[in-house]
Structure 1
């Protein structure tokens, strides 16, 4: 790579990292061209040399956060045996990640898509993320006839809506009160969904 291309890549990286830091700590409401530029150490005019607008940057951050979450989930569930136990470990690690980074949860599930990016693949990218994390385990369970494809589709939907609801109430309303109570509620919900796979 030539020096100019390396420098451009590095500067783009500074802007992306600055945006990610703001999103993690303060949420989308604090993301502005000036805030990003200040944190990155460049003028706000420089940002437009590398990105179309702030939404373009935020969309790149969504992709980065998904990769980060995926790596976290992989690490946390690595030693768990395949199948239902692995699926359970993935779901719990997914919850843990968003509890640690509530700003990312808000970005994924509470912000209007028009505030993130107008690209048509933004919604499926976000709503399909949990399925993507669990894809191998669901395939394995279906192949081993632990669950039918129809039942798996129903369970996937129930888990997405149920876990998103649990996170929403805990992060924004502190219900249930305290992380141990949240974890207990999450375990109970996951158990109820995985207990009878073919229902």
Structure 2
């Protein structure tokens, strides 16, 4: 029985990894039961023994990608001093991750949620992700009276919408042209938002 459970877990893992690879390289438009099964090395009928449909797999991938992005952000911002500098490092690492994996950005912020999964947890899981990454630093700034709770809420919203817009234009329109120009525009925007946050 133990071996059967391990085998089932392994096969589930193959399907999840196959879905992640498709999402990273080709985006949601290429995710289908047949494509996933082929990439995983199993028949599409086998997939249905483990998952309801491809949307179930996509939802699991969203969670995995968030874990992956969180690890990337944590590693890239580890040496930054607490407060505004740490927040800046987190935001830049967040952008870096999505530029590296534009298919994941599209999955998170461009695709209609109804196309991903009908679970009500999907929307807050995705839309609250940036706030979750920055949560500790915002608490640190509010507790230290560097920023008020109201100001922090305004800045969080501005950063979410602004950074999403910057990524959308860069990934889909190559505007600004080239990564250095994008990074400069993003850094200018972030610095402008983090400036003058006195409580």
Shorter-chain TM-score: which interval? over 0.9
Q: CA deviation at 1:198?
A: 3.8
2:93 equivalent in structure 1 = 93
TM-score (norm 2): 0.99
Q: Distance in 1 between matches of 2:30 and 2:157?
A: 32
* Distance in 2 between residues matched to 1:180 and 1:97, nearest whole Å: 15
Residue 166 in structure 1 maps to residue 166 in structure 2: yes
Equivalent residue, structure 1, for 2:84: 84
* Distance in 2, Cα, partners of 1:195 & 1:110: 29
State the Cα distance separating 1:85 from its structure 2 match.
0.3
Runs of 4+ in 1 over 6 A off after TM superposition: none
In structure 1, stretches of 5+ residues that fail to align are: none
Matched, 1:33 2:33: yes
Structure 1 partner of 2:59: 59
Partner residue in 1 for 2:15: 15
> Which residue pairs with 1:6 in the alignment?
6
TM-score, L = length of structure 1: 0.99
Task: For 1:75-154, list aligned pairs within 5 A.
Answer: 75-154=75-154
2:48 counterpart SS class: helix
Alignment of 1:157 with 2:157, yes or no, is yes
CA distance in 2, matches of 1:114, 1:52: 16
- Give the Cα separation in 2 of the matches to 1:65 and 1:91: 16
Distance in 1 between the 2:98 and 2:91 partners? 11
Q: Post-superposition shift, 1:121?
A: 1.2
Q: Deviations over 1:153-173 (max 9, x none)?
A: 000000000000000000000
The alignment covers a number of residue pairs equal to 199
Per-residue CA deviations over 1:104-130 (Å, capped at 9, x if unaligned) read 000000001111001111111001000
Helix, strand or coil for the counterpart of 1:50?
Answer: coil
Q: Distance in 2 between matches of 1:198 and 1:134?
A: 18
Offset, 1:81:
1.0
Name structure 2 gaps, 5 residues minimum: none
